[in-house]
Amino acid sequence: MSSALNKDHLRIASVNVNGLRAAYKNGMAAWLEPREVDILCLQEVRAPDAIVRELLGEGWHILHAEAEAKGRAGVAIASRQEPLETRNGIGDDYFATAGRWVEADFRVPDAAGNPVQLTVASAYVHSGEAGTPKQDDKYRFLDVMSTRLPELTKHSDHALVVGDLNVAHTPRDIRNSKGNLKKAGHLPEERAYFDRFFGEEIGWHDVHRNLAGDVDGPYTWWSWRGKAFDNDTGWRIDYHMATPGLAASAISAVVDRAASWDTRFSDHAPLVVDYQL
């Protein structure tokens, strides 16, 4: 990374912006400008390509998948370094125009200064709704992820999937686990996918959880309703999922939680991780 040449780590940030135009109107630029991010992954962009480029400004290489449905979904990867190659879509034609998955390959130096390949995906999993076709789409997407992750393991030296994955994996990832066991986002069937992602079968790692340890949260999403943000009644549904070697190189993970409810630029907070390859 061009900016990474002057520092010993690679900084990768992920945030569901809940509409990029609204996020910028509510102060996203003031967060991003001083943050020294090398790769910025966005979800729920909900804006035309020209607007995305205009808002992010100069100095970024931008890969953006707009959803066919106006004002819905949309994912992007903005990087300081030009990617070697990019791909739009997760590999299932059913989701081809859904604006939910983009991938970019980068060449980065390892600890010895040798070039290695890093693949980064920005993902936005369906929120779902128990017992409806929306939930069927969510399971179909998670099924395709179960196929794609092992492919990415073989494709690059290191691979990383970040984004709003819309599942709170364990009771530590949600303030009220028992009260949400029948709600989309914490259903046992959804959580079983993450058991596989982070288990022996697929073997990826939950970078944020690895670094945070066995604690509640830190949460990344809070409902706009009631006092959820003020009381920290949140969900940890934004992830950095990494192949083992990359996960082992992560040195810090920070949730950039706004100082107060009225200073948020999204209902999600950015998750920023530093990797020391």
Which residues are annotated as catalytic? Answer: 124, 164, 268
Please say whether the beta carbons of 276 and 245 come within 8 A.
no
Compute the distance between CA of residue 200 and CA of residue 33 in angstroms, rounded to an integer: 39
**Residue 268 known to bind ligand:** yes
Rg (CA), the chain: 17
Angle at CA of residue 269, ends 87 and 51, nearest 5°: 50
**Residue 267 known to bind ligand:** yes
Please say whether the beta carbons of 198 and 180 come within 8 A.
no
**Residue 44 known to bind ligand:** yes
| Measured CA distances, 13 to 65, 136, 158, 168, 189 (Å) | 18, 29, 17, 19, 28
Q: Annotated binding site for Mg(2+), which residues?
A: 16, 44, 164, 166, 267-268
Q: Annotated binding site, which residues?
A: 16, 44, 164, 166, 267-268
